[in-house]
Amino acid sequence: MKFSTLAITAALVLASISYGQAETADGCRQARDPQLRLQACSQIIADPSASIEAKATAFRNRGMTRADAGVGDLAIADFNDALALNPNDATTLSSRGHARLTRGDNVGAIADFSAAIALAPTITGHFISRGHAHTVMGAADLAIADFDAALALKPQSASALNHRGLAWRKKGDTDRAIADYTAAIALNPVYALAYNNRGYAYEAKGETRLAQEDFVRALLLDTSLTGASAGLKRLGGTGALAAESDALIARGRDLVEANCSRCHATGASGQSPNPRAPHFRAIQQRHKMLTLREPLTRGIAATHDEMPTFKMSEKEIDTIIAYINSLPES
């Protein structure tokens, strides 16, 4: 989720507000509000008593926040400053690689991901990131090699399987792509992008019914997937989707209102009755949907004092995720 350059400027202006040292470090690391995170990191950077390690971390975290906001040049500048202080930080290198990739510097991104891999060769995400960059550049064989390496480290990585499927499609092997998307979905049944991508692959093979089913499933899980919507229009399958999606969202809304609204703001506006409970509009920002399913499946342990522990069925989880995806961005 993005916030404006104006918001960044305002946050930096507010950086003169004084916080305790521990509170500032905590805010720079994990404040939910991006403006407060920017503010806390900037305060550490400006503090002459802060250690080199603390400043490097603050530059890195501020860079990540700016990258999330789409302010790529400022993000890269922060990552450069962080690496000048701590050149062997694989996380900063990988973060700069993502920022460079977003700005079209594919060669620079691959160099950063490669450096991160050299420093931290057991981190799956670095291989997935470099593989994605190779895919963007059209180097399908190099991409597949990176995704193979990621899967050797973590065979249950749905993300690596989905990305490798994209590389197989780039290489022209649609059947292998479908196999990888299917394996990713088996690992995470709410992986909307994997359904979306498999839909494209089925469409390419002329298997219209299977493509329609995947596009419908993708849209029910994530209404923002315009590619799936366009695919359904191409295939003439938009008829009952709106009604099915509305029904799924309505069931999810009923569930969260019945079980969560005493503490959380569950609607499109308003603040949570319990200040320790995040409003539901923020959940998309805090959790990707594929990672949110796991705690929902095993039963969410109490994350604030009044929150009960409860279990939900697979169908109930699907409706809640569909409802969360229907909410406006926080």
> Residue 308: its pLDDT value, please?
57
Query: pLDDT tens digits for the chain (330 residues)?
Result: 444 544 444 444 444 344 455 567 788 887 778 888 899 999 999 999 999 999 999 999 999 999 988 888 999 999 999 999 999 999 999 999 999 999 999 999 999 999 999 999 999 999 999 999 999 999 999 999 999 999 999 999 999 999 999 999 999 999 999 999 999 999 999 899 999 999 999 999 999 999 999 998 888 888 778 888 888 888 876 555 556 666 777 787 888 788 777 787 777 777 778 776 677 766 655 444 444 555 555 444 444 445 555 566 767 777 777 777 667 655
Q: Would 223 be classed as within a structural domain?
A: no
User: 206 lies in a domain?
Assistant: no
Same domain, 18 and 47: yes
- End-to-end C-alpha distance for the chain, whole angstroms: 8
Instruction: Mark which of 41, 59, 87 sits at the end of a domain.
Output: 87
- Give the count of domains, the chain: 3
Distance CA 172, CA 185 (A): 21
For residue 154, give its domain range: 98-187
Let me know whether 122 and 151 are in one domain.
yes
pLDDT of residue 184: 96
- pTM across the whole model: 0.69
State whether 79 and 110 are in the same domain. no
Same-domain check for residues 147 and 128: yes
Work out the burial of residue 30: count CB atoms within 10 Å of its CB; fewer than 13 is exposed, 13-18 middle, 19 or more buried.
Answer: exposed
| Residue 205 belongs to a domain | no
CATH number of the domain at 154, please.
Answer: 1.25.40.10
Q: Are residues 115 and 163 in the same domain?
A: yes
Three-state DSSP state, 151: helix
Q: Which of 28, 60, 87 is the last residue of a domain?
A: 87
Looking at residue 291, what is its pLDDT?
A: 47
Query: Same domain, yes or no, for 141 and 83?
Result: no
Q: For residues 56 and 32, state if they share a domain.
A: yes
Q: Are residues 72 and 134 in the same domain?
A: no
151 part of a folded domain: yes
Residue 136 located in a structural domain: yes
For residue 32, what are its two tokens? Answer: 């939910």
Q: Do 5 and 34 fall within a single domain?
A: yes
pLDDT of residue 259: 77
The pLDDT value recorded for residue 267 is: 77
From 87, 116, 131, give the residue that closes a domain: 87
Q: How far is CA 92 from the centre of its chain?
A: 17
Tell which residue, 183, 249, 188, has the closest CA to residue 220: 249
CA distance 223 to 295: 22
> Is the same domain home to 102 and 177?
yes
What would you measure as the largest C-alpha separation in the chain, in angstroms?
A: 65
pLDDT at position 256, please? Answer: 76
Q: Compute φ and ψ for 300, nearest 5 degrees.
A: -70, 125
Q: Are residues 106 and 54 in the same domain?
A: no
112 and 172 housed in the same domain: yes
Closest CA to 252 of 182, 190, 309, 301: 190
